[in-house]
Homo-oligomer: A and B are copies of this chain.
């Protein structure tokens, strides 16, 4: 689907909801990837979608770096953010003039707008109905984004191939002893992914040798310390390709292990297989996450994080896969998400197994080949 087709989908929704103008914001503190999803612009900026007096739809991109936007972005108009001193309220006011939006119209701003800033908007736009809500256009985009289209699935196939190449290369170099520290492993991934066309990492690589693998997210993310020595080592990484992120976790195991360590591994693998077996169209993700929690609970263990999450332009996006009352996500064809059961013990270390799953009309595809690797 082209950027324009995505925007057209939103214009239809806006017309139904009688929204005259909506604002999306990708900035340092409020980075909404909807801006890139709707225009291709990979940097900071604001995006306005609206209707003019004749009811004609129009997109206005306000990028921080106009030179980058000129190369990458597709929008009907471009105005540099510097024109508005990088103040969203100033840009929004100009947009209202640009679209000639009738007084009294509905104008929607991001639902992450801080309360004090929201008051400023309301005061400055007294002649308009300012909406700032969950369940509005921004959540609509999130819901659209949770189901990937053909182009996005194509990107994920390429990205998964690259991720899998790196997984195999990592296993080989760790077995041979070429990569023996957390830092060497992390920098290998950094270097190799770019050689294969990636934009970079989806998030900071987490590499934790046996002394540190008990942390869900080790701190620091990686060090010069030993990796894959005796015990359990965790490697969690994601590659970014054409804006999209993969997210996998491998556990490297070197024996002899304690019985407690063997048990962590067995339970994690069992939880992963259970979760994967439950994936299917129409299944509530809460059900899957609850089943895993029950499995761990029966073994007197507990997992201190969610079972998984959607991936896409963000490393964590919809759908959520967690066992929580407010989670009402249901799996649909086109969703791409992680399954990542893990257990952590300060005395024994930790293990986690995470792969990226694509649900299609026909089947459940495990896109990535992360695994527990016994050395």
Contact = CB atoms under 8 A, between A and B. Distances in A.
Nearest to A109: B115
Contact of A111 (B114, B132, B133, B200): B114
A85 B324 contact: yes
A223 interface: yes
Interface string A38-66: 00001110000000000000000000111
Interface string A111-129: 1111110100000000000
A215 B216 CA distance: 36
B217 A194 contact: no
A195 interface: yes
Contacts of A223: 194
A187 B134 CA distance: 41
Given A132-B115, A133-B116, A199 B220 contact: yes
A200 B217 CA distance: 14
Stoichiometry, copies per complex: 2
Contact of A116 (B28, B70, B111, B190): B111
Interface residues of A, number: 53
A132 B111 CA distance: 16
Given A113-B115, A114-B113, A191 B187 contact: yes
Q: Please indicate which of the listed interface residues A112, A221, A346 has the most CB atoms of chain B within 10 Å of its own CB.
A: A112
A194 B222 contact: yes
A329 B80 CA distance: 25
A78 to B, nearest CB: 14
B200 A194 contact: no
A43 B217 contact: yes
Nearest to A72: B219
Interface in A97-156: 111-116, 118, 132-134
A244 interface: no
Contacts of A132: 114-116
8 contacts: A28-B316, A64-B216, A66-B304, A68-B215, A85-B325, A114-B132, A115-B132, A190-B190
